[in-house]
Amino acid sequence: MITLITPNKAQKELAKNIRVRRLAMGLTQAGLSERSGVALATLRKFERTGLISVKSLCKLMMIVGGLEQLVEASAPTQSEFSSIDEVLASDKTQPRQRGYRS
């Protein structure tokens, strides 16, 4: 899979998005810190740099919304096959023809 976003860019985008959500809710950094249980210094650093632990990120997302979507986004994708028998049964490729036909 090709991705066009770097981890650093993703961290900064997450921080920006959570800041926008916080402001839309009318919360100050201190208010979000108090509600989420994330230290105010940690929240300030996160909004400035994008650096935060997964646990603290989850706490913030629980308050500003989106925690369920974050968990769903990390879920493994369903395989097309549930057993090796299904894989073997689906092998419908034609045998290669040898030689040249005109």
Is residue 70 a contact partner of residue 61, using CB atoms and an 8 Å limit? yes
- CA distance linking residue 20 with residue 95, whole number of Å: 58
Read off the CATH number of the domain in which 36 is found. Answer: 1.10.260.40
* pLDDT mean over 69-84: 85
Quote the domain boundaries for residue 45: 7-74
Label residue 95 by pLDDT band (50, 70, 90). Answer: low
Would you say residue 58 lies in a domain? yes
Indicate if the pLDDT at residue 55 is higher than 80.
yes
Would you say residue 99 lies in a domain? no
Indicate the residue type of 36.
S
| pLDDT score recorded for residue 93 | 60
Would you say residue 91 lies in a domain? no
Instruction: Supply the DSSP string of 49-93, one letter for each residue.
Output: H----HHHHHHHHHHHS-HHHHHHHTSPPPPS-SSHHHHHHT--P
| pLDDT score recorded for residue 61 | 98
Label residue 101 by pLDDT band (50, 70, 90). Answer: low
**How many separate domains does the chain show?**
1
Tokens of 88: 């073997």
Q: Mean pLDDT of all residues in the chain? A: 89
Alpha-carbon 95 to chain mean position: 42
Condensed to tens digits (0 to 9), the pLDDT of residues 18-30 reads: 999 999 999 999 9
